[in-house]
């Protein structure tokens, strides 16, 4: 009778170390990196939307002001026909008088071609196809340039002049009660106030993002530590049970071997008699 073979200890000696901590650090680091990326992308998207709303707000205000000014000028007959470029320039001049940060005005035809500018040293420019499409629907179009080069808009500016914030607002000029586009007035305005508003908004968004990351990251890290702690406990319990099972298997094999040796010895004794 052959004795049973004792099981090897490969599973016990080559299994994962219960005390290993690198999976917790690696998992937490990866999760925090993903969290940071999601927060950053969300904040950048929110920032773009807020900035567009701020610029559009001034455009809508100026568009309403232009419509009201045209009605006033038409009532006192200072402006009678917006199809005339001189009448459009007069209207733009009347609007500029009510504002304190207008640098200059450009006039464009309904087809988007440059007509004239005031003051005369304002450079010529062109409208993009996308802006022209929106203006033809009656919507004002605003663009904020945080670092505009003065020489691109002012013929008298020095080529080495420092960049300045510039707000560009395009307003569709229409006869009252009609949808026919008579022309386009582009107001070039000092954008310092919007630049300060943007800077304050960036600061608030940065604080909000940092707090969100700190709170979410703390909760996420705590969850990882708790989860991995439970996994480690489960692995430790599994290793303990495996060790007990291997020990019982060895004891069983030893008992079987002892029994077999005793049987053989007894047989030999009886055979010698």
Average pLDDT over residues 24-45: 86
Average pLDDT over residues 93-104: 84
* Residue 259 belongs to some domain of the structure: no
Q: How far apart are CA 156 and CA 172, in angstroms?
A: 28
* Residue 32 belongs to some domain of the structure: yes
User: Which tens digits make up the pLDDT trace of 9-20?
Assistant: 444 444 444 445
* Residue 253 belongs to some domain of the structure: no
Percent of the chain clearing pLDDT 70 (strictly above)? 81
* Residue 16 belongs to some domain of the structure: no
* Residue 217 belongs to some domain of the structure: no
User: Which tens digits make up the pLDDT trace of 129-174?
Assistant: 999 998 888 889 999 989 999 888 988 888 888 999 999 999 988 8
Dihedral angle at the C-alpha atoms of 148, 149, 153, 157, nearest 10 degrees?
140
More confidently predicted of 3 and 51: 51
Dihedral angle at the C-alpha atoms of 64, 124, 133, 130, nearest 10 degrees?
-120
* Spatial CA neighbour of 187 closest among 50, 48, 77, 69: 69
Helices 85-97 & 22-75, crossing angle to 10 degrees? 110
Q: Give me the domain span that covers residue 72.
A: 28-211
Residues 6+ apart with CB under 8 A from 219: none
* Residue 267 belongs to some domain of the structure: no
User: Which tens digits make up the pLDDT trace of 38-86?
Assistant: 999 999 999 888 888 888 888 888 888 887 777 776 666 666 667 777 8
CATH code at position 188: 3.30.450.20
Answer yes or no: is pLDDT of 255 > 50.
yes
Instruction: Give 8's pLDDT tier (boundaries 50, 70, 90).
Output: very low
Answer yes or no: is pLDDT of 198 > 80.
yes
What's the gap between Cα 14 and its chain centre? 46
* Residue 199 belongs to some domain of the structure: yes
Q: Indicate the range of 15-19, 38-42, 91-95, 219-223 predicted with least confidence.
A: 15-19
Average pLDDT over residues 2-31: 56
* Residue 263 belongs to some domain of the structure: no
Length of the chain, in residues: 273
For the whole prediction, is pTM greater than 0.75?
A: no
Domain count within the chain: 1
């Amino acid at each position: 009778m052959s004795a049973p073979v004792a099981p090897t200890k490969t599973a016990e000696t080559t299994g994962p170390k219960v005390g290993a901590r690198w999976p917790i650090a690696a998992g937490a680091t990866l999760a925090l990196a993903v969290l940071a990326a999601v927060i950053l992308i969300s904040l950048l998207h929110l920032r773009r939307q807020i900035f567009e709303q701020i610029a559009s707000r001034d455009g809508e205000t100026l568009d309403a002001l232009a419509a009201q000014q045209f009605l006033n000028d038409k009532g006192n007959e200072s402006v009678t026909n917006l199809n005339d470029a001189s009448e459009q320039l007069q209207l733009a001049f009347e609007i500029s008088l009510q504002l304190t940060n207008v640098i200059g005005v450009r006039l464009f035809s309904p087809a988007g071609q440059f007509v004239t500018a005031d003051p005369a040293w304002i450079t010529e420019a062109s409208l993009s196809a996308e802006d022209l499409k929106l203006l033809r629907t009656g919507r004002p179009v605003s663009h904020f340039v945080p670092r505009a080069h003065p020489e691109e808009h002012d013929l008298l500016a020095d080529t080495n002049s420092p960049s300045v914030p510039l707000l560009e607002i395009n307003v569709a000029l229409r006869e009252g009660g009609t949808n026919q586009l008579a022309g386009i007035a582009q107001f070039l305005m000092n954008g310092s106030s919007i630049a300060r508003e943007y800077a304050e908004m960036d600061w608030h968004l940065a604080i909000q993002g940092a707090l969100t990351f700190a709170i979410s990251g703390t909760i996420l890290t705590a969850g990882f530590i708790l989860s991995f702690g439970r996994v480690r406990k489960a692995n430790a319990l599994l290793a303990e049970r495996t060790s007990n099972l291997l020990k019982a298997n060895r004891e069983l094999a030893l008992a079987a071997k002892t029994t077999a040796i005793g049987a053989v010895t007894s047989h030999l004794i009886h055979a010698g008699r």
